Every structure is written in C-alpha cells, then in structure tokens.
Amino acid sequence: MYKNLILIVFIIPFVFGCGYESLYSKNKNFIFYISSLEFSGNKEINNLIEKELAKYNKKNEKEFSIIINSNFSKNSIIKDKKGNTTNYELVAEINLTIETNKKNQNISFVESLKIEKNNDNFEQVKYENKIKKNLSKIIANKIIFYLKNSQ
C-alpha cells in the first residue's frame, strides 16, 4: 500500500512536468493580421477556414487582405465489376489571393485523401464530414504558416 502511494507521489510530477505545449502556444504575438476575408465556393470549407483565421484580426505590423475560393470534390477512383464505386478520393482545393501594401499574390493549396466506400450511408456521410473538417484545418494551418513566413 505504501509502496504504491510513494510510487504515485514520485511519478505524478514527471508526468505533468514533461513540458508539452502546443505548437503555437508560446508565439501568440504574430507579426501579421488579416484585415479582411472574402469567401466564395464551398460554404462548409469556408466556414471551417474562417474559424481558424479569425484569431488573426488584431492589428500588427503586416496587414493582409485575403480572398478565398474553395472547392471540394468527391471523385470515384475504383469501381467493381458491376460499375459501383468502391473507393473515393476527397479533394479540397483552396485558391487564395493575398493582397498586401506592396503586391498581390495568388496561391493554391490542395489536400486529398483516398477512402473506401462504407455500406452504411449515414456512417459514410459522417466520415466524409470529419475528413472535410480535417482537410480544412490542415489548409488553414498552411495558410497561417505561409502568412507568417512571407515578407
């Protein structure tokens, strides 16, 4: 009994004191801000990206105005002998126009994932929505990374 208590007392500080922090937690003062965002295309993708980029609206040194055109597609890649699709490729494509004081830039980001078709349509739709959220988050992080490192 006492052995277990002593072991727990010594292990807890090591577990909670490991120093894990999220990637951007220390660097909350970015040197850029997004003054305006305009969206066209897929509403779901746009809403998810807007939530991620909304954090960067406080005035700072670099100012960006961004126009985002998004597209999401579900392509059939493998079919069985009857012609029914068995595998899909989900593709999220984002075209950005970034306007700064100096210049305008056009950039594209594409993320895709291949999945197998599920026999349960409800589960298939839930899975595709989860993938769409993940792809949007990945693209939003790429946008933030690009803006942070651009001159």
Going along the chain from its start, the domains and CATH numbers come out as: 40-149 (3.30.160.150)
**CB within 8 A of 70, min separation 6: which ones?**
39, 40, 41, 42, 45, 46, 49, 92, 93, 94, 95
Measured CA to CA, the distance from residue 50 to residue 37 in angstroms comes to 8
Mean pLDDT by 10 residues, the chain (151 residues): 72 65 54 84 90 80 87 90 89 91 87 90 91 91 86 54
Do 106 and 96 form a contact (C-beta atoms < 8 A)? yes
CA distances from 18 to 5, 14, 26, 32 (A): 21, 6, 16, 31
Is-above-0.85 flag for pTM? no
